[in-house]
Every structure is written in structure tokens, then in C-alpha cells.
Amino acid sequence: MHFSKTLTSVAALALGAHAGLPVASVEFQSWESCDVGAPAVGEPKFKTDATATPLTCDKALVNRDWSIDFYSFKAHLDTKDALLCSGVTVWNDDSCSGEPVYFLPFHGEPVAQGQCLPDILDPGYVSFKLECFGHGGPGGPGGH
């Protein structure tokens, strides 16, 4: 499964590099402790990498380890086109559908570190989509 996820991420990066598709790397971070509402800093207990584009929906498994009480998200813009994106929308499912649970804004910066969140996620998955004007994001074709 990990190899397949890596292959999917590499394919998305290659597609983004050749087709002008914005791409961001997303870290889903699991913490034993952090200050809710403050930026999550330090080294998380677990982290899972995913890829976000405006046209795809990548997912990560919610870690249900008994010691995990907090979560956060971190994103890195991987392509030049991604600088026009406003952030990453996060859902608590595997298909980027329904009501989002979190939005991680870039605020014009290439890296966004989200706030420490309490354990608000249901078991299963979180999924990610990059929100970009003109690429399926707000105001674009297929936008929300």
C-alpha cells in the first residue's frame, strides 16, 4: 500500500510539473500533546504524507493509537503554479465529499503549519484537495 501511495504521489507530481497543475505536499500529523489553537511545533509522534491537487483527492488513515489526542496539518507548495492557491481543504472521509472539517490557508507563503486540533476526527480517513482559483477551486471550473 505504501509503495502504491508513493507511486500515486510521484505521478501527481509529474503531472503537475508537465501540465501546469498546482501540487502541494501535505503532512497529516498526530500528537500526544500540543497547545490547542497554537501552531503545532516540534516533532509529531506520527506523520503521514499525502499529495494535494485541485483535481485529485488523496487520503490518509486517521491514526487511532491510544496515545494520540491531537492532530495538525502542514502543507508545502511543490509547484510554481501552487503559489496561486489559497490553501488545502480537509475532509474526514476518503473522498473529499460532504462538509470539510478544516481549511489550512497558505496566506501567500510556500509552507503552512496548521494549528493544533483536539481529537475531533472520526475513525477512517482524512482526504485533501488543493483550493486554487481557475483549477477546480473556488471560482474555477468544478469549484466548490
The string of pLDDT tens digits covering residues 120-136 is 899 999 999 999 976 55
User: Could you give the number of structural domains in the chain?
Assistant: 1
State the pLDDT at residue 135: 54
Asked whether residue 118 is domain-assigned, the answer is yes
Asked whether residue 102 is domain-assigned, the answer is yes
Which percentage of the chain shows pLDDT scores above 90?
A: 67
CB-based contact 30:96 (threshold 8 Å):
no
Asked whether residue 141 is domain-assigned, the answer is no
Asked whether residue 140 is domain-assigned, the answer is no
Burial of 88: CB neighbours in 10 Å, binned 0-12, 13-18, 19+: buried
CB-based contact 23:10 (threshold 8 Å):
no
Asked whether residue 125 is domain-assigned, the answer is yes
Is pTM beyond 0.85? Reply is: no
Tens of pLDDT, residue by residue over 49-97, are 999 999 999 999 998 788 999 999 999 999 988 888 999 999 999 999 9
Rounded Cα gap, residues 14 and 6, in angstroms: 12
